[in-house]
Structure 1
Amino acid sequence: MKILETRGLSVGHGATTVARDLDLEVAAGEIVGIFGPNGAGKTTALLTLAGCLPAHGGTVTALGSSVGRSTDARALARRGVRLVPEDRGLFRQLTVRENLILGLPGRRAGKSALDETLDALPKLRALLPRRAGLLSGGEQQQLALARALLGRPKLLLVDEMSQGLAPTIAMGLLRMLKDQAAEHGTSVLLVEQHVPMALDVVDRAYVFGHGRIMFSGTASELAGSPDLLAAVYLGADSKAARGPAGGSSLNPNE
């Protein structure tokens, strides 16, 4: 079952389109990564899918319903789409507990949902009375993920989760997401710069470059293409854009 599907999606800021012709799919319980060099449009695409930015063109279907230009983030959240933004989006002056309560559906303090989430991220229990602004970077990221998971989302959109975190902490959080996908059928679409780390948990991957999708395939196909992996950091060229056997790719020069 497709949780998310886009066809010919174009995204950008204001009048400027930064990526176009994006055909993306995420199935139920699947973890999909979006990779690419800085400025490739990865975060812009994620914010568009979350309803934070209007699409410049194309179609988006989320959870079986069409997403129009007037569909905002709150409407998508009610459908079961949750975003963990790059800046984590926390209320720094509020406590950890208060931030979590804001993530509950209808803002009801559902004890079972809260306990279930804290079981997945147990280090947060001891931090419940602490202000979010006093947490470390790793603790803030755990809180941001916990707040999103409290809504029991069907689709979780995660932007640059590992940024500023020690590799061991980032890997632990990625594995937690994989557990959520396996246990609860949560679908995850994540933008991540640390590609080798993310390839340990994603099922499939897209690589953005030159304003388009340069590669679409499985994690193992991407891991087997050193040229394409180099392009993620250095910018896609025609050699890298050919991609590995088995995955589909687009050469912008053709």
Structure 2
Amino acid sequence: MKKIVLWLQENYLALVAPVILLAIWEAAGKYGLIRTNLLPRPSAIAETLLELLKSGELLVHLGTSILRVAEGFIIGAALGVLVGVQVALVKKLRIAVSLIFGILRPIPVIAWIPVLILWMGIDEASKITVIAIGSFWTVLVSVVQGIRNVDKKYLEVATILEKDHITLLTKVILPAALPSIFTGVRVGIDVAWRSVVAAELIAAASGIGYMIMYARELSQIDVVLVGVLSIGFTGIIIDQLLRLLEKRLLRWNINLHDS
């Protein structure tokens, strides 16, 4: 109970600000200051949300998108870590791929969607590949930067103690780079969500992006906004879960900075 009270004291502004915004929005819609056919009142959006929850439509589409994000992100993040470690540690490899990566990395994920549809069709493979591509680059950059920023003193101590390469990597380099890697993972999740929604908007028969696009075609702006807000709330939940995981795994790092 004390933790809840303390959290409310520290974060009350984060709760008050949205309430004030919703109240202004509701009043503006009620008194005709905004066109409710273009921007429905929060109460109308809440009613639509409850209807979609009762029918199960929202949960089905949201669940489909979450599953795609999970599959694509795991593939992209795993490859990002594996390739990132090699690129960071092997100078010749880093030089060899610098031009290739420099060309490919700035390409927006959405630009790959037409290409992947031609290669793989509109099945799950193309959507998951889009998510994997977006996640790969974010995690790769974080891994490379994290490893290259490892304090050289750690490496010198490990060398003096004559640690083998595997021990050096698993016990020194990766733990020291974990804060940067976790940052890349959190940003990678955001990219994964943007990627899956973009893919579903263009070619899909299910998913939250498909629901938004289909509702737009029917001019159901309330359903569109429910879909958009669902993505935002899901993103917050995932980010908070990752923060908790980061605190548990990096407790040593937090204690070090606090001391």
* TM-score range relative to shorter protein: under 0.3
TM-score w.r.t. length of structure 1: 0.24
Name which one, 1 or 2, has greater alpha-carbon Rg.
2
Structure with the higher helix share, 1 or 2:
2
TM-score w.r.t. length of structure 2: 0.24
Structure with the higher strand share, 1 or 2:
1
